């Protein structure tokens, strides 16, 4: 499979876990493994002992280094920001934007990079010490490493950027590392640990697409080739109107990569809930098998932009709330088809940040509804592609309308970027009925 990172420029920020160390020949480094596997051109801007928050080990010395474009990062294709080991004692709330708490500093760093670069930005949450279990605070700290890893991941998703959470997912659990088989000291990796960590980081990074795609789309050999795809949703899914030639569409990009046979059932302005923009007009379209969906191999349901004013609870099955309507739609599709069913949570407006109410009269933020929709999908055990939280379209990046024609609809570049992201997730989702 083609490696889209080969030859691209990578700026790596972080702590001693990212920094190269020539004075300690036994130290391992995940960056070296990732660079070897990816073919990326590396500019390593990490610093031992560095941190973002002022009461951390590095006294906040990493924040001004990250929030500066004089080092050439504007030319980068990839910017990674590794955090965790050396941060301070005040964790804060995920919505903070101050310069004192970890969450506040992290929000500031991510938003600066979004506003000032055109790179794909990835947060890497690194493993910490091998001295205590994940649920126990370090001495003098009032939070555990597990809590910090979770909150930092939530900050990444609040800003819509990809997150590689090595702390939670890489396998370096306390019972495995406490004997120091993989680390030289209480934290730094040895050669074996560095290689294991690098292999994990690359396993995630390789499927994260470029933010600025290059070249023509070439169909990729996959299990989706030739399969039948029914796509339901709003104007973000619907085929480009003839009178709007500048509009971009993620569906076209996904179809080109996958080679699927598409039946596009997206409808501009339609929604599932009665008090939304679409006045429930999408519900009878989705919950109806007379349109041929029983023959589909894949059914996607894209939701978010035009839904109602009452989010509801994720266990709702009523008609009136967003959660209730989506639960009904998913369960109908599960009961009446043999397709793989995937919920696509779409980006919303570029007018307000993710933590603000999406519009007048709405009782929830974009972040809240995107999170709830993901939980509804998981409640029903179906895959969810959450573009709102993971695709990179954070408010600081989209508010200038570089990727959208208006407050919501994608332009050609935005459609290609969105399509690349959706395909990066979909290609790893298996058929429901294997061949």
- The pLDDT-based confidence of 387 (bands split at 50, 70, 90) is very high
- The pLDDT-based confidence of 392 (bands split at 50, 70, 90) is very high
pLDDT score recorded for residue 278: 85
Report the interhelical angle of 366-379 vs 322-336 (nearest 10°). Answer: 30
What proportion of the chain, given as a percentage, has pLDDT over 90? 87
The answer to whether 107 touches 159, Cβ cutoff 8 Å, is yes
The answer to whether 411 touches 404, Cβ cutoff 8 Å, is yes
pLDDT score recorded for residue 25: 86
322 by Cβ neighbours in 10 Å (0-12 / 13-18 / 19+) ranks as buried
Strand partners, 335: none
Task: Read off the pLDDT of residues 81-116 as tens digits, 9 standing for 90 and up.
Answer: 999 888 999 999 999 999 999 999 999 999 999 999
Task: Read off the pLDDT of residues 134-189 as tens digits, 9 standing for 90 and up.
Answer: 999 988 899 999 999 999 999 999 999 999 999 999 999 999 999 999 999 989 99
Most confident range, picked from 70-79, 181-190, 353-362: 70-79
Kindly give the residue spans of alpha helices, DSSP state H, lying in 353-407: 366-379, 387-390, 395-398
Task: Read off the pLDDT of residues 300-315 as tens digits, 9 standing for 90 and up.
Answer: 999 987 799 999 999 9
The answer to whether 405 touches 313, Cβ cutoff 8 Å, is no
- The pLDDT-based confidence of 243 (bands split at 50, 70, 90) is confident
Q: Report the alpha-carbon distance of residue 35 to residue 73 in Å, rounded.
A: 17
Residue range 39-53: mean pLDDT, rounded: 95
The answer to whether 370 touches 355, Cβ cutoff 8 Å, is no
- The pLDDT-based confidence of 401 (bands split at 50, 70, 90) is very high
Q: In order of start, what are the domains of the chain with their CATH numbers?
A: 9-205 (3.40.50.1110), 228-426 (3.40.50.1110)
The answer to whether 121 touches 114, Cβ cutoff 8 Å, is yes
pLDDT score recorded for residue 1: 65
- The pLDDT-based confidence of 370 (bands split at 50, 70, 90) is very high
Of 84, 251, 85, the residue nearest 163 (C-alpha): 84
Quote the Cα angle for 44-45-46, to 5°.
95
pLDDT score recorded for residue 304: 86
Task: Read off the pLDDT of residues 201-235 as tens digits, 9 standing for 90 and up.
Answer: 999 999 999 999 998 899 999 999 999 999 999 99
What proportion of the chain, given as a percentage, has pLDDT over 70? 100
């Amino acid at each position: 499979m083609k490696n889209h990172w080969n030859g691209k420029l990578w700026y790596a920020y972080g702590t001693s876990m990212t920094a190269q160390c020539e004075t300690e020949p036994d130290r391992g480094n995940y960056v070296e493994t990732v660079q070897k596997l990816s073919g990326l051109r590396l500019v390593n801007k990490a610093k031992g002992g560095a941190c973002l928050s002022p009461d951390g080990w590095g006294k906040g010395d990493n924040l001004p280094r990250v929030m500066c474009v004089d080092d050439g990062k504007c030319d980068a294709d990839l910017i990674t920001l590794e955090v965790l080991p050396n941060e301070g004692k005040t964790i804060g709330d995920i919505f903070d934007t101050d310069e004192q708490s970890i969450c506040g500093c992290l929000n500031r760093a991510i938003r600066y990079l979004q506003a000032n670069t055109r790179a794909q930005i990835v947060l890497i949450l690194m493993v910490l010490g091998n001295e205590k279990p994940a649920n126990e605070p370090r001495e003098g700290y009032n939070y555990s490493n597990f809590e910090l890893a979770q909150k930092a991941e939530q900050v990444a998703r609040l800003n819509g950027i990809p997150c590689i959470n090595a702390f939670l997912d890489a396998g370096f659990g306390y019972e495995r590392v406490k004997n120091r088989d993989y680390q030289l000291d209480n934290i730094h990796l040895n050669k074996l640990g560095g290689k294991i960590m690098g292999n994990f980081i690359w396993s995630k990074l390789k499927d994260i697409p470029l933010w600025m795609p290059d070249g023509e789309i070439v169909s990729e050999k996959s299990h989706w080739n030739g399969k039948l795809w029914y796509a339901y949703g709003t104007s973000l899914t619907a085929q480009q109107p003839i009178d709007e030639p500048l509009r971009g569409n993620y569906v076209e990009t996904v179809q080109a990569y996958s080679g699927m046979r598409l039946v596009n059932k997206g409808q501009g302005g339609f929604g599932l809930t009665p008090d939304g923009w679409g006045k429930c007009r999408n519900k009878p379209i989705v919950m109806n098998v007379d349109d041929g969906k029983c023959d589909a191999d894949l059914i996607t349901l894209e939701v978010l932009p035009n839904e109602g004013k009452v989010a509801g609870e994720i266990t709702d099955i009523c008609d009136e709330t967003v959660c209730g309507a989506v639960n009904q739609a998913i369960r109908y599709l599960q009961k009446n088809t043999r397709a793989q069913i995937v919920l696509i949570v779409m980006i919303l407006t570029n007018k307000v940040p993710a933590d603000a109410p999406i519009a007048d009269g709405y009782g929830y933020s974009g972040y809240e509804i995107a999170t709830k929709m993901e939980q509804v999908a998981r409640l029903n055990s179906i895959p969810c592609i959450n573009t709102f939280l993971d695709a990179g379209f954070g408010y600081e990046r989209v508010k200038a309308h570089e990727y959208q024609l208006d407050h919501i609809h994608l332009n050609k570049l935005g459609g290609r970027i969105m399509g690349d992201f959706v395909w990066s997730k979909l290609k790893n989702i298996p058929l429901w009925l294997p061949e």
